Structure 1
């Protein structure tokens, strides 16, 4: 790969439009992998540029396209882009922020970058199972990581106590920051421990989980960007189901008779159904497809 351009080489790039176009080009040519919230070089370059210029993410960037860039602003964008390409650091680790829809979360290398189909499911796909989230009294998020799903759960279930568990004390430190940022430290209770174990005798109306589910073969071929994340938050044995198996065998002890378990399994739907042919998995209909997140009622798990 060619040496990364220095600031002198890009001096002819004077406007936001210039830098955005150049950023897209160099990202496209660099062979980086997109998969942490920004699926295209256009979106990654846009976000890095707006972040480096302290411009609002949710405002139409065309308002600023022809604005001239100051030398120190060019340097900041250049530095972020260079680290993104040469070190293969995902954008959310560079900016210390990740987004699930309109919701911003702090993140760093202590925890998995927030991304989950369950965030979408809470907005729409679960409505046919849970008519009124306001009626839920106690809910849980297992493998909470930086707490993003626990926070979305608390926002959807304002009357509920939210318990969130993770085995990583580092991840829980990030979760505390996010809970405080949203003013939800009193509603969300964080527990350190393995899967459902720290919940002890807790009984819940809804348990959600985005556990590790990457199989061994996929782990061996992960792009460099994913290897920046905590391996323990990704890997789950030979077939990617080690964590899900344990959740399925213990969840009924923690669900109310009307309760639901909702779990994300990525691309492991076929393997899961083969391993548990007796379970009537309900696959949620999501924008990316209908084989990524399942739901099961207490009755199915307790049988």
Structure 2
């Protein structure tokens, strides 16, 4: 769509929505009508329900905002980056191109970690590769007794994570540190969590354009076999965990057996392999 295509005069919202849906469908977007509704609601500063009851045509400034957002989505930029936010664990998070977009599968890891912390009581937690901070923030909000250290090698990602902690009013319980995995001098932890890069390098370019072209490659690429970070984390985990401490990591589909073998090789006892809501093995829980 050429910029300005929606600005030829007053247009009813149903007309604009129908046209945008066709544009997104032709661009290969998987959910064209839903995405068009979300973007139109954002441009009009309405809820999606509000779109159904509004009778006024699209105003000029609204058309300009919608045109710009629609053009970005037609280029397959992720909806979350266009909106600048994404929900995770019933919390609202800022996201941009410096961080991965939160996935619902990661709520399996957040839920397992939260169960562990509630049973443990006061605990020190390390979140490796925090990205936008979704795990650290979700744990801090839902278990205020936890004291959390969150690391990332990307300064830009850490800035997003810090803002998300402020956004969700838990910044006083999370220390964000620049580090490649484990933070030097931070002491031992009762729980280490991580959603590390786990996609095989050769597969990244074949992923959906939203992922391959827009999400940070460093947060996706797990090496030749996708398992590099499990080896790096597993090799050092025992020296960073307190007695009976736990390591919980998210894994990709079909990686359960191999990741469990890697962790066992480094002296960790695999306690459980947890599946997500789709029945796919998603989290490995190991003990020091």
Do both proteins adopt the same fold according to a TM-score greater than 0.5, normalized to the shorter chain?
yes
Of 215, 221, 242, the residue aligned with 2:206 is 221
Q: Tell me which protein shows more strand as a share of its residues.
A: 2
Instruction: Give the total of aligned pairs.
Output: 283
Q: TM (normalized to structure 2)?
A: 0.86
For the pair 1:156 / 2:142, whether they are aligned, the reply is: yes
Query: Residues 105-129 of structure 1, C-alpha deviation per residue, up to 9 Å, x if partnerless?
Result: 1122222223352324434x557x6
Counterpart in the other structure of 2:26:
29
- RMSD of aligned alpha carbons: 2.7
Distance of aligned partners of 1:116 and 1:139 in 2 relative to their CA distance in 1, 3 Å threshold: farther
For the pair 1:231 / 2:217, whether they are aligned, the reply is: yes
Of 37, 58, 73, the residue aligned with 1:69 is 58
Query: Residues 128-169 of structure 1, C-alpha deviation per residue, up to 9 Å, x if partnerless?
Result: x63725713211211001212110011122011111001111
Distance of aligned partners of 1:256 and 1:43 in 2 relative to their CA distance in 1, 3 Å threshold: farther
Query: Could you tell me how far apart the structure 2 residues matched to 1:116 and 1:294 are?
Result: 17
Counterpart in the other structure of 1:113:
101
Aligned partners of 1:137 and 1:161 also within 8 Å: yes
Counterpart in the other structure of 1:6:
5
Task: Give structure 1 stretches of 5+ with no counterpart.
Answer: 35-39, 299-303
User: Where does 1:107-256 land on structure 2 (aligned, <5 Å)?
Assistant: 107-115=95-103, 117-123=105-111, 125=112, 130=116, 132=118, 135-196=121-182, 198-226=183-211, 227-256=213-242
Query: Residues 67-121 of structure 1, C-alpha deviation per residue, up to 9 Å, x if partnerless?
Result: 53223212211210112213x3212222211221431111222222233523244
SS state at 2:172 partner:
coil
Query: Could you tell me how far apart the structure 2 residues matched to 1:30 and 1:234 are?
Result: 24
For the pair 1:291 / 2:276, whether they are aligned, the reply is: no
The CA deviation at 1:274 is 6.0
Aligned partners of 1:96 and 1:108 also within 8 Å: yes
The CA deviation at 1:23 is 2.7
Query: Could you tell me how far apart the structure 1 residues matched to 2:237 and 2:52 are?
Result: 50
Query: Residues 182-220 of structure 1, C-alpha deviation per residue, up to 9 Å, x if partnerless?
Result: 222211001111112x15352222211111111022123
Counterpart in the other structure of 1:257:
243
